[in-house]
Amino acid sequence: METIRTVSWMKEKAREARAEQRVVGLVPTMGALHAGHMALVERAQKECSHVYASIFVNPAQFGSSEDLSKYPRRLDADVQKLTAAGVQGLFLPSRDEVYPPGFSTYVQVEGISERFEGKSRPGHFRGVATVVLKLFEIVQPTFAYFGRKDAQQVRVVQKMVHDLNLNVELVICPTVRESDGLALSSRNAYLCEQERRAATVLYRALHAAERKLSVSVRDALELKSAMLEVLDSEPRARVDYAEIVDAETFEPVVRVERRCYALLAVRIGSTRLIDNMLIQAGDRIAVEL
């Protein structure tokens, strides 16, 4: 696997790929790779002739109160995993490569970026959209792979691709979970043993909403109460938000009448975790596409 550290070299590779009409897949990550990331890589391997993963802990998407320097970094293990998976290249730019001195252009996807994750983490989606647009421009992928674990991020990127007529097709992959339901996340590494056990409360809360849906409850308040009841039962959990939202706009809904997300952000100790479940009103209530 080739490690590419500069924007100019990555762009050269992209030019080469275009000239040879290769199907290029991009898997953007912040590293500390786990089975969730690797599921995106595997999907990309199936659909593309050339797969690039990127690892960049993007300072622009961290708030001033969030500790960017503490974000887990495991480059050696990441390189091993990507090599074993057979990806063609790792794009590993430095901070200055992505944001050279004097950088001052940002992408703002209005509306959706201001809700939930965007409200709790001001500027977060501006940072995400900016870096993702840059990665698309630099790598020029045919397909780009994202996880539904970060559902609002997916929607922000989809909206940006649509609004700016970008030449890339997004592929959204299901959330990979531990056997007890906890969604894999690089941030799970922060949890101590007791917190790790407590962290299953997110999945249990989503499951409670699912049970209500299965007995035809469509009232969003009732579904939300079911989630909160479970979350409140866990003393280590502090709820940031628990909501039923429209899957396109991320506006809270009154009733589940079209595709919605049950959406959670919960602090377990000092670690903030997010999770979600895609739901709809028809026969199959919980959808994982």
The DSSP call for residue 49 is S
CB 215, min distance to ligand AMP, A: 28
Q: Total number of residues binding ligand AMP (CB under 6 A)?
A: 17
Distance, CA of 268 to CA of 148 (rounded, Å): 21
CB 157, min distance to ligand AMP, A: 9
Closest C-alpha to 198, from 230, 163, 242? 230
Distance, CA of 113 to CA of 93 (rounded, Å): 26
Q: Kindly tell me which residue out of 4, 13, 14, 37 binds ligand AMP, with binding defined by CB under 6 A.
A: 37
Return the residue matching tokens 């979350």: 231
150 or 234: whose CB is closer to ligand AMP?
150
SS3 (DSSP) at 188: helix
37 given a catalytic annotation: yes
Q: Kindly tell me which residue out of 150, 234, 243, 275 binds ligand AMP, with binding defined by CB under 6 A.
A: 150
Does residue 271 touch ligand AMP according to CB under 6 A?
no
What are the φ and ψ backbone dihedral angles of 280, each rounded to 5 degrees? -145, 170
Amino acid, single-letter form, for residue 270: S
Return the residue matching tokens 């970008």: 166
Which of 37, 50, 124, 207 is catalytic? The answer is 37
Q: Which stretch binds ligand AMP (CB under 6 A): 36-44, 214-222, 231-239, 267-275?
A: 36-44
- Residue numbers annotated as active site: 37
Give the interface with ligand AMP as residue ranges (CB under 6 A).
29-30, 36-37, 39-40, 146-147, 149-150, 173, 175-176, 183-186
